[in-house]
Amino acid sequence: MPLVSGTEIFKAARKGGYAVGAYNTNNLEWTQAILEAAQAKNAPVLIQTSMGAAKYMGGYKLVVHMVEDLIESMNITVPVVLHLDHGEYDDALECIEAGYTSVMFDGSHLPFEENLKLAKDVVEKAHAKGVSVECEVGSIGGEEDGIIGSGELADIDECVQMVNTGIDFLACGIGNIHGAYPENWAGLAFDHLQAIADAVGQDVPLVLHGGSGIPQEQIEKAISMGVSKINVNTEFQLSFAKAIREYIEAGKDLEGKGFDPRKLLAPGKAAIVKDAIEHIEWFGSADKA
């Protein structure tokens, strides 16, 4: 099945009261693991790259070819969206041309009027090629590829203005952060989430960034209130590293050809498959392909 835009997938999720997982990939094994999990659970899936991860892997075009070729070689039949996560303006335009089917232009660190102006331009260029667009209002706490946000509650009027640019889904600050959550984290601001959902309309898919580490009951409540796309990265990174560390600490890399990268990385890949399946079940997107 060819790559698809995120527009219809997230509209369906918003209407159906479930969320589709947006999982960052960092290499071949991660991409294989995410696709394997989605196929196993018959779930639509969004694979996304940060700007830095795409550069690490060899560039946006390489990522497009890798994902497309894996879909073919692995006989993947579920809908797959390829998305740029937290993209600068120039990177969003580059991904539109490279073959990504969805992009996030993150201008949340800019003055709002400039963010809005650039968002309109990205939407126009993306939609002309059938590419879906995500934009952000209110910086998300933590750091993502050099874009640092202190974490805030998105301004509701700005959310409405951003949706009016024609974007397909909206990322909005509701107390969420990137990376590991501190012990004193106050939790998601559900009253604010409800106010945003009411203001932008019940058919607009909302995006929850920093999905790693949020308690399941809070994720499920957020989905019931309009969150249709949930980003997960740190959680998979931690599982990947833990599984490989245990393999090495057990001395398995010293047994026979246990040092072979295919064997060395296999436990990490298996951990991501397990985690992705678990998140698909949490999000309610199993059998929604």
Strand pairing class (142-144; 147-149): antiparallel
Q: How far apart are CA 99 and CA 256, in angstroms?
A: 42
Tokens of 38: 């989605």
Q: Is the dihedral of CA 149, 151, 152, 155 positive or negative?
A: positive
CA distance 89 to 147: 13
Distance CA(157)–CA(164), nearest Å, equals 11
On whether the CB atoms of residues 74 and 33 are closer than 8 A, the answer is no
Q: Among 119, 116, 110, 165, which residue's Cα sits nearest to residue 139?
A: 110
Q: List, in sequence order, every beta strand (DSSP E) within the chain.
A: 20-24, 45-49, 80-87, 102-105, 132-137, 142-144, 147-149, 169-172, 206-208, 227-232
In whole angstroms, what is the distance from residue 77 CA to residue 43 CA? 10
Tell me the CA end-to-end span of the chain in Å, nearest whole number.
12
Q: Return d(Cα 71, Cα 188) in angstroms, integer.
A: 35
How many whole angstroms separate alpha carbon 80 and alpha carbon 289?
10
- Contact of 186 with 177, CB cutoff 8 Å: no
Say whether 157 is catalytic.
no
Which are the catalytic amino acids? 85
